[in-house]
Amino acid sequence: MQHDEVIWQVIRHNHCSFMAKISTGNFCRNPYNVTGICNRSSCPLANSRYATIRDHDGVFYLYMKTIERAHKPNELWERVKLPRNYEKALEIIDKHLMYWPKILVHKTKQRLTKMTQMRIRMRKLALKTREKIMTTPRKEIKREARREQKAEKAALLDKSIEKELLERLKKGVYGDIYNYPVEAYNEVLEMEELQAASEEEEEPEIEYVEGYEELEEEEDMEDFGGLAIHNPEADEDSDGIDEDLEDVDVPRKRGRKESTYSLRKVEKDARAKLKKKAKVIVEVENEDADERQTTVH
């Protein structure tokens, strides 16, 4: 048979796993405690008739315990679901705890009020965007950094080995004994060709040239255009052309600097004109006289 006073004396003065002693007072960690304070009237273990309110996923339930069910631990607590409306929940509490002690009914209503306010604040905070503070795992960061360093060293070693093997293959150290992957070898050769092509496609060198050379050539050609070549009886032979070139006199303006390039160009143009010049012989016969007139154009 359950005796509340004996249970309280054992719990209070010997040992209780739910009791938490703090400088401000003694508190109870039992989830069925209606106030959270460790005292005789609020202890759920030392009271055979007890009522409290608990929250399950945002839904409030009224829990009640009576002495008639003390011999059935699996059916010790009677649970009643409370509606979300605060006033209706108070009505249900008054209905089920009509003949219970007034102090216990008052504490149960106070717990319902506090839990309702807590639920409202939780909904408001859920709607707001708040920064989430997270701890930095130092051990994991250090471990990842060590792994990265090892991977970099391994990659450099692999590249150096591959480069050395390719150089030996190019030199023909292994000959036909070593069976190397042809695709990888071709890829490396293509990469080297692309690098060589990119080096060739560099910027062109900058050169500085004379700016007034073309103007001088044009003026020399204009001066040469006014010359008169007096040699109508020129032959087709090259000797005659050379003699005509010797007779050509090219007057130049005083005070102008002569260039060898312009002189050569003038001589070439003169030779081309003499070569292109063709002889046309026209014969005219008169019916009355047997005389013939020949003209050379």
Q: Is 84 within a domain?
A: no
Give 50-101 pLDDT, tens digit per residue.
Answer: 999 999 988 999 999 988 888 888 889 999 999 999 999 999 999 999 999 9
User: Mean per-residue pLDDT for 206-212?
Assistant: 58
Answer yes or no: is pLDDT of 14 > 70. yes
Residue ranges making up the domain that contains 31 = 1-47
Q: Is 1 within a domain?
A: yes
| Top-confidence range, 131-145, 213-227, 255-269 | 131-145
Q: Is 86 within a domain?
A: no
- In degrees and rounded to multiples of 5, residue 138 shows phi and psi of -65, -40
Q: Is 25 within a domain?
A: yes
* Predicted pLDDT of residue 251: 47
Answer yes or no: is pLDDT of 125 > 80. yes
From CA 272, how far away is CA 267, in angstroms rounded?
Answer: 9
Q: How far is CA 129 from CA 21, 99, 135, 171, 234, in A?
A: 37, 47, 19, 67, 107
Q: Is 141 within a domain?
A: no
From CA 6, how far away is CA 201, in angstroms rounded?
Answer: 101
Q: Is 17 within a domain?
A: yes
Q: Is 27 within a domain?
A: yes
Instruction: Please name the amino acid found at residue 145.
Output: A
Q: Is 4 within a domain?
A: yes
Q: How far is CA 108 from CA 17, 51, 79, 173, 230, in A?
A: 24, 7, 14, 93, 139
The CATH number that applies at residue 9 is: 3.30.390.110
Give 92-112 pLDDT, tens digit per residue.
Answer: 999 999 999 999 999 999 999
Provide the number of structural domains found in the chain.
1
